[in-house]
Amino acid sequence: MTETKELVKKLADKYGRARESLMPILQGVIEEERFVSSEAMTEIARELDIASAEVYGTATFYSFLDTQPRGKYVIRVCKTITCDMHGKKKVIEKIEDLLKIKLGETTQDKKFTLLTTNCLGWCHQGPVMLINSTPYPSLDENKVTEIIMDYMSK
Amino acid sequence: MENLKRVDLIFGAYTNEKYKVLESTLKKSSEQIITEMINSGLKGRGGAGFLTGLKWKFTAQESEPTKYVVCNADEGEPGTFKDREILTKVPRKVFSGMAICGKAIGAKKGYMYLRGEYQYLLPDLMAELDVYHEHAKRFNHDFTIEIRMGSGAYICGEESALFESIEGKRGEPRNKPPYPTVSGVFSKPTVINNVETFVNAVMIMKYGAEEFKKLGTSDSRGSKVFSISGDTPKAGIHELELGMTLADFVAEFGDGDTKAVQVGGASGFCVPRKKFNETIIGFEGVPTGGSMMLFNSSRSMYNVLHNYLDFFEEESCGQCTPCRVGCQQLLKGIHAVKKGEKPSSYLNQLLQLSDTMKITAKCGLGQSVANSFSSIVENFKEEMIY
Amino acid sequence: MAEIVKINIDGIALEVTKGTSILDAAKSVNVKIPTLCYHEDLCVAGNCRVCVVEVEGRKNLVASCAAPAEQGMVIKTTTPKVRRARTDIISLLVSEHNTQCTTCYRSTNCELQSLAAEYNVDSERYLSVLKPNIQVDKSSYSIEKDDSKCVRCQRCVRTCAELQHVNAITVAHKGRDMKISTFMELPMNEVVCVNCGQCVTHCPTGALTERRYYHEIWEAIGDPDKHVVINTAPSVRVALGEMLGYPVGTRVTGKMVTALKKIGFDSVLDTDFTADLTIIEEGHEFLQRVTKALKHKEKVALPMITSCSPGWVKFIEHMYPDHLDHLSPCKSPHQMFGALTKTFYAQKIGVDPSKIVSVAAMPCAAKKFEANRPEMKSSGYQDVDAGLTTREIGQMIKQSGLDFVNLPDSNYDSYMGESSGAAVIFGATGGVMEAALRTVYEVVTGREVPFKNLAITPVRGLEGIKEATIKLENVVPEYSFLEGAEVKVAIAHGLKNARVIMDQIKNGTSPYLFIEIMACPGGCIGGGGQPIPTNDEIRKKRIAAIYAEDEGMPIRKSHEVPEIKKIYETYLEKPLGHKSHELLHTHYKKRNRY
Ligand SMILES: Cc1cc2nc3c(=O)[nH]c(=O)nc-3n(C[C@H](O)[C@H](O)[C@H](O)COP(=O)(O)O)c2cc1C
Ligand code: SF4
Ligand code: SF4
Ligand code: SF4
Ligand code: SF4
Ligand code: FES
Ligand code: FES
């Protein structure tokens, strides 16, 4: 069994094989692999005994359930109104600069992916970003540099 | 400050003994709890403002034995972050509220649907949940709570989409009727309430409906947790009594140059300066789930609207025509007018379209796009054109 | 007891049972409300919002397909508010659409087109938000998918899931990017699609169509070197008329044959001939299995299941690959026909098989795929060069300019033009079973089936799964081991029902000996290649026409057809013989389920 298959099986054992377990299982795959590969989806379909197309349809509905390969650290910068007003553009440009990638891209070493997202619920402390599931509020160019540098050395 | 009453209900300290309010409430009958809730006049804090007591009553009346309680912690409305604060500071009150509701309607299971963006809260919430389950057991209250996570889809805050999501499907809103009180999650009678609503329920149980009613106005009982952001020196969470005028609010929270306030998030209304005096914050005026975004005169309202429409175009579930295509048309339309590719009169056609969306869209998302669209376009027309 | 509610629609007071949708209530008093995402066969989606109406006292309009009538409702269906909203919604759909009606296969039979025309929408009202660079997926032999013409009504997805339990297609993404997609957006030929074409007949627009082959056939007809033969399936003759000006349920057999001859087919033959042949082969196969099992106590796969529906065959290959031995080895009738056309028939008329183009006129989309299966080359050539749908045949007749209604009737050509009523009823669900029973019962007992007028009524009708038990008494000596036996049979149509049957087999709880399964609801008369629309009302009328055709036939049992007897005498030797295996039987392939 490949690693992905094992992971899916483990998650299905943990959450059960009813349809309602689909989200927790997809989330579990993201947690480990940062995206849900075609292999993972086929395997989930097999475990839950549903069509792979349904797994795909469900996964693509949710913006955090990426079906494209992503880096080890997925950075999502809030682009909604108050973060926009308070300088999300500069933050994104800074990250692009640091990682030498454009928005939507993944670094060559597969370590970082840079995306935007909608309101993260930190509007009073925008701009804000998530790195995987950790929020980083009150960003400016200096702060974001510090954070990214820190991750780069991880 | 004298015109705004600060309150410390929601975030007030826990009782000395854990789950004390729950313990005492469990001694009451289901009818007593529901009557108290109805008497309090509490309206839902998630935005729609339905009477919470009635919702509980309808669900309690259903003959189907399996029922559910769902806590809507999907907080995705731009400019709203109060549920996060509540879940960070007083999760015990939220779980207590759910458990009380479980008692009232006769449910044995509750779900909290937590947005994926708040996953970092999960370890603390799980720890508190253990404490809850321990106490529920001690109180002989057969009501367990499970946390389900969202994964980045604003529409899953809409109740029926949320149910679909819990069931492991795409978060596409359902047809209504049937309403959740009859057929909710797993097609069983369900009470779904906002995080803050559950906390209010606990406060009503603690202090009584009469005390609760002393706060707010006849249409808007109680206090409200506001998420205040934008051009304000006092951005953050503030618990205030309902029923104030926007002018008073701006006097307290504005930066001295406030040109407009967006009340209720992207799906709420934009109120321009000239209407601050006449606008009341509450169910009798402009309702809000708590989001208040202030804009000063340096802001382009075109950009604000553009940002909202961009949000809706992405976050619509996409199933129904008026919303899926309508959002794209509104966005593309204001862009075309701004660039001079369409005459300014095209805005009137877009206003009519937003009206069509309001009366024909399948769910609240598509229906409420018109709120911000028309209130911004009508009040800031010149900013849309030039 | 059903509760009754009083409502008022456009000034008409009426009473309906509680829970009736406003749409259905309106229909009952002849108030027509336009719809798009609604389809009688499917669960209500309520997503197009075209069907909105005004309910007194409500600010918002109400989607009539999804909203139940409630006591005291006063409903208005044509107020200016309603009209404006509908016009707006249709305009929005058009703005998202690749409106190319002049060249679209569904033109004049498209629900979006007629709505847009009815409401006379201004195509310039909104800016175009059609997604750029949409590629038409032509990878499948059967189904073409063109997202640029999709209105996102999800009818196809509901069809594939609810009626067929295949789920080859799904709704993917959200918001402006929402679309109908396969797993990982793979081409249609790489997914579990069984090619049944039900999504096509349920699609309101030209977004899903069958892959067309009639251009090639016109070319072949025009080529003097080619001998072009067509055989027509039983369901085509009871549905084709719908496209050519006849009411639903009209039999147009004779005119169809004339039209095809006039179009220039060198020979117009009847698929019924090989349907009868199927009965002989399948009936003997069944008796052979039963004999092995009951008399010799050997292990054979029972129940035996029919294999004349290629959509069903691909379904079992994907979904139940471990149970393929239950399938009858018989090819579907038109494949038998193809194989015989390029062997037996070629020999008879003295034409080089390489010059023969064999065409099958079918109610089916799956036969296109089947014709292209690599194993379907038992004549040494591709046995069937093209499977055309009823719709394509209708289109060809229109293109030919023939005045169809005023054509005289003609008879099928021979060879392979004779057949029985038993073959005709192949077109309706239960028909294959009935035909088989008419023959098998007689073989085993020496008497006709004990049903009035040979109509085995328990196997007829639109119920999803039908059962019948036939008691065998006073059997002929050869089958003495069957004396007193009760043969339990089942019929399923629509792959949703096939799943129920197969799960029983999988669990070892199937009580049946013989099962008929058809991929399409209603059987072939409701096939994926039939005229659009198809719904239960239409299915019933087509079925009635099928049974009427049967009753009008001089021969009603497959084994009594002289040409069938003769082909065994002169060519095939005996049922299940060497030649049969070579030409009439096939084998199956395990496919991937996910
Ligand atoms: C698009 C949309 C998003 C919503 N998001 C939320 C949300 O994030 N949180 C919430 O409590 N209610 C949300 N609602 C409202 C819910 O559908 C529902 O009315 C609410 O959870 C009921 O709880 P309440 O009565 O306590 O307010 C949303 C509604 C719509 C239409
Ligand atoms: S209004 Fe928008 S979000 Fe709601 S059902 Fe329609 S498309 Fe989905
Ligand atoms: S699908 Fe219908 S509306 Fe679209 S091009 Fe074809 S006929 Fe015209
Ligand atoms: S042809 Fe049949 S199996 Fe294939 S997508 Fe359409 S409905 Fe599904
Ligand atoms: S392909 Fe056809 S049936 Fe499917 S959603 Fe599009 S228009 Fe509707
Ligand atoms: S707008 Fe960025 S967190 Fe809310
Ligand atoms: S037909 Fe009623 S919403 Fe589509």
Same domain (yes/no): C202, C260: no
How many separate helices (H) and strands (E) can be counted in chain A? 7, 4
Q: Using alpha carbons, list the distances in angstroms from residue C218 to C231, C243, C261, C388, C437.
A: 16, 20, 13, 12, 40
Residue identified by tokens 């040494």 is C380
Q: By CB neighbour count within 10 A (0-12 exposed, 13-18 middle, 19+ buried), where does B1 fall?
A: exposed
Structural domain includes residue A94: yes
Neighbours of B127 (CB within 10 A): 11
Tell me whether residues A27 and B151 touch, CB distance under 8 A: yes
Gap between the Cα atoms of C111 and C36, Å rounded = 7
Which two tokens mark C82?
Answer: 């309603």
Looking at the CA of B200, name the nearest ligand. Answer: 1
Q: Establish whether residue A119 lines the binding site of ligand 6, counting it when its CB lies within 6 angstroms of any ligand atom.
A: yes
Give catalytic status of residue C375 as yes or no: yes
Does B2 score more than 70 pLDDT? no
Please report whether residue C106 resides in a domain.
no
Q: What's the 3-state SS for C192-225?
A: CCCCCCHHHHHCCCCCEEECCCHHHHHHHHHCCC
**Domain identity same for C226 and C356:** yes
Residue B3: what pLDDT?
62
Q: What are phi and psi of C156, to 5 degrees?
A: -60, -40
Instruction: Answer whether B294's CB lies under 8 Å from B258's CB.
Output: yes
If asked whether residues C391 and C519 sit together in one domain, one would say: no
Specify the range with the lowest mean pLDDT, choosing from A49-63, B124-138, B206-220, C241-255: B206-220
Question: Are A80 and A50 members of one domain?
Answer: no
pLDDT tens digits for range B78-121 = 999 999 999 999 999 999 999 999 999 999 999 999 999 999 99
Interstrand relation of C62-63 and C52-55 (parallel, antiparallel or unpaired): antiparallel
CA of C285 relative to ligand 6 center, distance in Å: 70
Q: Are residues A54 and A125 in the same domain?
A: no
Indicate the pLDDT class of residue B287, thresholds 50, 70 and 90: confident
**Ligand 6 pocket residue status of A21, Cβ below 6 Å:** no
Per the CB < 8 Å rule, is B81 touching A58?
no
Where is the domain boundary, C383, C406, C429?
C406
**Residue C259, domain member (yes or no):** yes
* Pairing verdict, β B258-263 and B236-241: unpaired
CATH code of A83's domain? 3.40.30.10
To 10 degrees, the CA torsion angle through C280, C283, C288, C289? 150
The token duo for C45 is: 């989606």
Neighbouring CB atoms inside 10 A of C448's CB total 12
Task: Check whether residue A78 and residue A134 sit in a common domain.
Answer: yes
Task: State how far the Cα of A72 lies from the Cα of A33, in Å rounded to an integer.
Answer: 8
Nearest CA in chain A to B314: A118
The answer to whether B322 and B366 are in contact (CB under 8 A) is: yes
Q: Tell me whether residues A80 and B311 touch, CB distance under 8 A.
A: yes
Domain match, C168 and C248 both: no
Pairing of strands C52-55, C74-76: antiparallel
End-to-end, the C-alpha distance of chain C in Å comes to 45
**Domain assignment of residue A122, given as a range:** 73-152
Whether residue A77 is found in the same domain as residue A57? no
Domain boundary among A38, A61, A84: A61
Instruction: Answer yes or no: is C117 within a domain.
Output: no
Contacts of A20 in chain B (CB under 8 A): 166-168, 186
Number of domain units in chain C: 4
Nearest residue in A to C168, CA atom: A53
User: How many Å apart are CA A10 and CA A31, to the nearest integer?
Assistant: 13
Q: Is the pLDDT of residue B38 over 70?
A: yes
Q: Do A53 and C173 touch (CB under 8 A)?
A: no
Domain-located, residue C96: no
Residue C360 and residue C432 in one domain: no
Residues C99 and C392: their CA atoms lie apart, in Å, by: 22
Total number of domains in chain A: 2
User: For A122, which of B81, B170, B230 is closest by C-beta distance?
Assistant: B81
> Does C114 qualify as catalytic in the annotation?
no
Q: Is residue A50 part of a domain?
A: yes
Note whether C319 and C448 are same-domain residues: yes
**pLDDT at A70 (0 to 100):** 97
Same domain, C38 and C155: no
Task: Please tell me the predicted confidence (pLDDT) of residue B243.
Answer: 87
For position B219, what pLDDT does the model report? 85
Residues C345 and C430 in one domain: no
Q: Are C61 and C85 in contact (CB under 8 A)?
A: yes
Cβ neighbours of B322 in C, within 8 Å: 49, 88-89, 92
- Which residues in chain B are contacts of C129 at CB distance < 8 A? 325, 328-329, 332
What is residue B4's three-state secondary structure? coil
Same domain, A89 and A113: yes
Q: pLDDT band for position B1 (50/70/90)?
A: very low
Last residue of a domain, one of A61, A83, A105: A61
Residue tagged 């006591």 (tokens): C71
A4 — contact with chain B (CB < 8 Å)? no
Residue A39 in domain: yes
Question: Is A128 part of a structural domain of the chain?
Answer: yes
Separation in Å, CA of B114 to nearest CA in chain C = 20
**Chain C hits for A38, Cβ within 8 Å:** 183-184
Same domain, A39 and A96: no
| CA–CA gap between residue C188 and residue C194 (Å, rounded) | 10
Q: Does C80 touch chain B (CB under 8 A)?
A: no
The three state secondary structure string of A57-69 is: HHHHHCCCCCCCC
Last residue of a domain, one of C59, C78, C97: C78
pLDDT over threshold 70, residue A89 = yes
CA C204–ligand 3 middle distance (angstroms)? 9
Other beta carbons less than 10 A from residue C344's beta carbon = 19
A38 occurs within a structural domain: yes
- Inform me whether the pLDDT recorded for B8 exceeds 90: no
Number of the ligand closest to the Cα of C66: 7
Q: Is A51 in Cβ contact with C170 (below 8 Å)? A: yes
Q: Is residue C119 part of a domain?
A: no
Which domains, ranges and CATH numbers included, belong to chain B? 20-213 (3.40.50.11540), 223-296 (3.10.20.600), 301-385 (1.20.1440.230)
Q: Evaluate whether residue C296 is within a structural domain.
A: yes
Do A112 and A87 lie in a common domain?
A: yes
**For residues A1 and C352, which has the higher predicted lDDT (pLDDT)?**
C352
Sign of CA dihedral A140, A141, A142, A144: positive
Residues A119 and A143 in one domain: yes
Q: Which domain holds residue C256?
A: 214-273+334-406
Among B284, B317, B266, B302, residue whose Cα is nearest residue B386:
B302
Q: Whose CA is nearest to atom 8 of ligand 5?
A: C153
C314 plus C366 within the same structural domain: no
Band of the pLDDT at B190, cuts 50, 70, 90?
A: very high
CB-based contact, C191 to chain A, within 8 Å: yes
Quote the tokens at residue C232. Answer: 């027509």
Q: What span, in angstroms and rounded, lies between the C-alpha atoms of B80 and B73?
A: 11
Cross-chain Cβ contact B148/A23 below 8 Å: yes
Cβ distance C204 to C112 under 8 Å?
Answer: yes
CATH code of the domain containing C178: 3.30.70.20
Asked if residue A67 belongs to a domain, the reply is no
Catalytic residue among C210, C285, C418, C434: C285
- pLDDT (tens place) for every residue of chain C, 594 residues total: 689 999 999 999 999 999 999 999 999 999 999 999 999 999 999 999 999 999 999 999 999 999 999 999 999 999 999 999 999 999 999 999 999 999 999 999 999 999 999 999 999 999 999 999 999 999 999 999 999 999 999 999 999 999 999 999 999 999 999 999 999 999 999 999 999 999 999 999 999 999 999 999 999 999 999 999 999 999 999 999 999 999 999 999 999 999 999 999 999 999 999 999 999 999 999 999 999 999 999 999 999 999 999 999 999 999 999 999 999 999 999 999 999 999 999 999 999 999 999 999 999 999 999 999 999 999 999 999 999 999 999 999 999 999 999 999 999 998 898 999 999 999 999 999 999 999 999 999 999 999 999 999 999 999 999 999 999 999 999 999 999 999 999 999 999 999 999 999 999 999 999 999 999 999 999 999 999 999 999 999 999 999 999 999 999 999 999 999 999 999 999 999 999 999 999 999 999 988
Q: Are residues C435 and C509 in the same domain?
A: yes
Ligand 3 pocket check: which of C48, C102, C110 to mutate, most ligand atoms within 8 Å of Cβ?
C110
Residues C376 and C443 in one domain: no
Task: Tell me, yes or no, if C328 is annotated catalytic.
Answer: yes
**Residue C534 backbone dihedrals phi, psi, to 5 degrees:** -130, 130
**In the sheet where A134-136 sits, what is the strand order?**
A112-117, A73-78, A129-131, A134-136
CA–CA distance, A78 with C447 (Å, rounded to integer): 80
| Cα angle: C127, vertex C128, C129; to 5 degrees | 115
C-alpha gyration radius of chain C:
25
Percent of chain B whose predicted confidence (pLDDT) is above 70: 99
Q: CB of B359 within 8 A of CB of B43? A: no
B303 touches chain A (CB under 8 A): yes
Do C152 and B318 count as a contact with CB atoms less than 8 A apart? yes
**Residue A17: CATH number of its domain:** 1.10.10
The band of B217, judged by pLDDT with boundaries at 50, 70 and 90, is: confident
Assign residue C517 the CATH number of its domain. 3.40.950.10
> Tokens 């179009």 appear where?
C263
Q: What's the rounded Cα separation, in Å, for the pair C557 and C437?
A: 10
The verdict on A57 and A102 lying in the same domain is no
- The Cα B294–Cα B280 span in angstroms is 16
* C-beta separation of C324 from C262 below 8 A: no
Measured CA to CA, the distance from residue C434 to residue C543 in angstroms comes to 14
Residue B283 has a pLDDT of 86
* B51 Cα: distance to centroid of ligand 1 (angstroms): 13
Residues 6+ apart with CB under 8 A from C292: C298, C300
Q: Does C192 contact A at CB distance below 8 Å?
A: yes
Q: Which of B150-164, B277-291, B318-332 has the lowest mean pLDDT?
A: B277-291
- Evaluate whether residue C179 is within a structural domain: yes
Identify which of B170, B186, B308 has the shortest CB distance to residue A81. Answer: B308
User: How far is CA B357 from each of CA B309, B332, C303, C388, C589, rounded to the nearest angstrom?
Assistant: 13, 16, 55, 43, 51
Is B326 within 8 Å of B356 (Cβ atoms)?
Answer: yes
Closest ligand 2 atom to B361 CA: 1
CATH at C402: 3.40.50.1780
- 8 Å CB contact of C176 and B324: yes
A118 CB neighbours in chain C (<8 A) are: none
Query: CA–CA separation, B349 vs B369, rounded Å?
Result: 15
Return the closest-CA partner of residue B290 out of B269, B264, B267: B264
Best of A76, A119, A136 for a ligand 6 pocket test (most atoms within 8 Å of beta carbon):
A119
Residue C275 CA to residue B45 CA, distance in Å, equals 67
| Ligand 6 pocket, residue A129 CB under 6 Å | no
DSSP code, position C130 = P
Q: Tell which of A41, A61, A81 closes a domain.
A: A61
Q: Which chains, if any, share at least 3 CB pairs under 8 A with chain B?
A: A, C
Residues A115, A52, single domain; the answer is no
- Two tokens at C200? 């096509």
Same structural domain, A14 and A57 = yes
pLDDT at B285 over 90: no
Per-residue pLDDT band at B5 (split at 50, 70, 90): confident
Q: Is B45 helix (H, G, I), strand (E, B) or coil?
A: coil
| Interface residue C92 vs chain B (CB under 8 A) | yes
Same domain, C315 and C452: yes
pLDDT for C1: 61
DSSP character for C51?
T
Q: Are residues A79 and A57 in the same domain?
A: no
- Residue C73 located in a structural domain: yes
